Amino acid sequence: MPAAVAAEPSVRAPLPVLGRDVAVPLVTGGEVTYAALDQAASAPALQRVWDDVAAYAPYYGSVHRGAGYLSQLSTDLFENARRTVADFLDCRDGDEVVFTRSTTDSLNLLAAALPDGCEVFVFETEHHAALLPWRRAGQVTFLDAPDSPAQAVAALERALADRDPYGSALVCVTGASNVTGELWPVRELAAAAHAHGARIVLDAAQLAPHRAVSVRELDVDWVAFSGHKLYAPFGSGVLAGRADWLREAEPYLAGGGASRTVVRRADGGVDVQWHETAARHEAGSPNVIGAYAVASACKALTEAGFEALAAREDALVRAVREGLADVPEVRFLSLFGDDAPRVGVLSFVVDGWNSSHFAAALSAEYGIGVRDGLFCAHPLVRRLLGGDTGGAGECGAPEAGALNAIRVSFGAGTPEEHVARFVRAVRELVRDGARWTYRTVDGRCVPDASGRA
C-alpha cells in the first residue's frame, strides 16, 4: 500500500476523515496526498466514526436474543442507534426506523411493502436506486425531467390529478441530485402529493450528508439514505417513516428476528406470527457496527452544525465554478440553472476530451479522484448531454460529442486545498493536455506503460 504522509495543518477540514493523509503515486513521478473528490459515490469514514467503532468492537455481541453481558450491551447500542437516527431525521411519534444495507435496499424494501394496486410517480431524473424498484409494484408513471423546481411541482400535480383518487399512490423524489447537486423542492412536492391523497418517499442519499433533513418540516412519509455516503461506510442504510404500510406488508426477508413465533399446524404446515415493529423487516443478525457507525455520523454532523457545514460547502462550490468560469471548454451540467441551490456535487464535460480520459489524467497525473460516466442516472445524464450517448470510444481520442460526464463531489471532510488543486489541474489539462499516454482497457482509460505523451 502507498505510504502515508502527514497532512498539512492548512488543509484540515472541520470533520477529519480517514485517508486524509494517504499519499498516492503519480505516473509522472513522486507522490502526492490523495484528493478524494468522489464523495457522492462513497464518502470516507469520519475519524470520529472510526474511533467509535474501534472502541465498541471488542464488546461486539449478538443482538436481542443473547443473555450475556456483551449481547445486552450490543442490543442497547443497536436500539439507541435507532433512536439517534430518529432524532437526526426529526421523525414523528410512531415512525419506524428500519436498518437496511443502503438507500437501494431501503427503496426496494418500500417497493415490496406497497399496497396492492399502488400507483407510483417518479421523475426520470432519479438515481436508478429510486427509479427502478417500483417497476415490479404495478403501475408506474415516469415524469419528464423538469426545467425548474416550479415545473417539477406543476408536473407532479398534473400527473396526480389524473390518477384514481380512491387508490393508494406513492411519489418518489430525490432531495439533491447525484448528478448536478441541485436541491429539489421536497416540501412543495410533498404538499402536492398529500393534496391528491398520495404519499411521498424522499431519497436523501445525497441530501442527508450535506443538509439537515426533517421528516416533520418536509412533511414526507419516508426517508431513505445510506451510511456510506454519510461518512459511515460500514454497510448500513436507513428507511424511516410511517409504520402502517411496513407493518401490513410481508417481511422483506423471512427468517429469524423478523418472526415472533413459529408453530407447526396439525396438517403439517407452519404458521408464523411476524413482528410488527422495525424488526419485521430486519431478519437475520443485524449489522450492529453499521448501525452504530450511522448513529455516530449523525451525532457528529449534528454537533458540527449543518448551517456552518453548508456555508463552507457553498464556498467550495463557488471556488470550483469561479475558478473555471474563464475556461470555455468546461461546461457544467444543470437542470435548474447555474445559480440553483446545490450541495457539493458538480458534473461537467470538457470539449475535445473523452470524459474517461480526463478523469484518468486527473487521477494518474494529479492524485485527484473523481468519477466519470452516467452516474447510475442514465436518463438524466443523457438529457443533460443533449441526447443518447454512444459507446465508450477510445481514450485519448478527441470526441465530437461528450460520451459521458465527469463528476466532482466533496463534503465536510474535504480540505480547501484539494478543491484548489482540482481547479488548477483542470485548467492545466485543458490548456496543455495530458502529460502521459493512455489506453483503453475493459472500457476504461488507464495509463499506458509506454510513458509520456
Active centre residues (catalytic): 376
The grid coordinates listed for 231 are 461518512
Please name which of 102, 92, 79, 362 lies closest in space to residue 237, comparing C-alpha atoms. 102
Distance CA 404, CA 387 (A): 11
Within 10 A of 123 (CB to CB), how many other CB atoms are there? 25
Distance CA 330, CA 352 (A): 10
3-state SS assignment for residue 197: coil
Running DSSP on this structure, what letter comes out for residue 148?
S
Strand 330-332 and strand 345-350: the pairing is: antiparallel
Within 10 A of 215 (CB to CB), how many other CB atoms are there? 21
Distance CA 198, CA 170 (A): 5
Strand-pair partners of 371: 407
Cα–Cα separations (whole angstroms), residue 324 to 30, 327, 412 = 27, 5, 22
State the sign of the Cα–Cα–Cα–Cα dihedral 410, 415, 420, 426: negative
Please name which of 41, 37, 45 lies closest in space to residue 16, comparing C-alpha atoms. 45
CA 423, distance to chain mean position in Å, is: 24
Within 10 A of 14 (CB to CB), how many other CB atoms are there? 12
- Residue 432, class by beta-carbon neighbours within 10 Å (0-12 exposed, 13-18 middle, 19+ buried)? exposed
Distance CA 380, CA 142 (A): 12
Cβ-Cβ contacts under 8 Å for 450 (sequence gap 6 or more): 437
Within 10 A of 268 (CB to CB), how many other CB atoms are there? 6
The grid coordinates listed for 105 are 435496499
Cα–Cα separations (whole angstroms), residue 248 to 167, 170, 203, 271 = 16, 16, 22, 17
Please name which of 207, 204, 295 lies closest in space to residue 241, comparing C-alpha atoms. 204
Alpha helices in 324-435 (DSSP H): 355-366, 378-384, 416-432
Alpha helices in 241-393 (DSSP H): 244-248, 288-304, 306-323, 355-366, 378-384
Running DSSP on this structure, what letter comes out for residue 114?
P
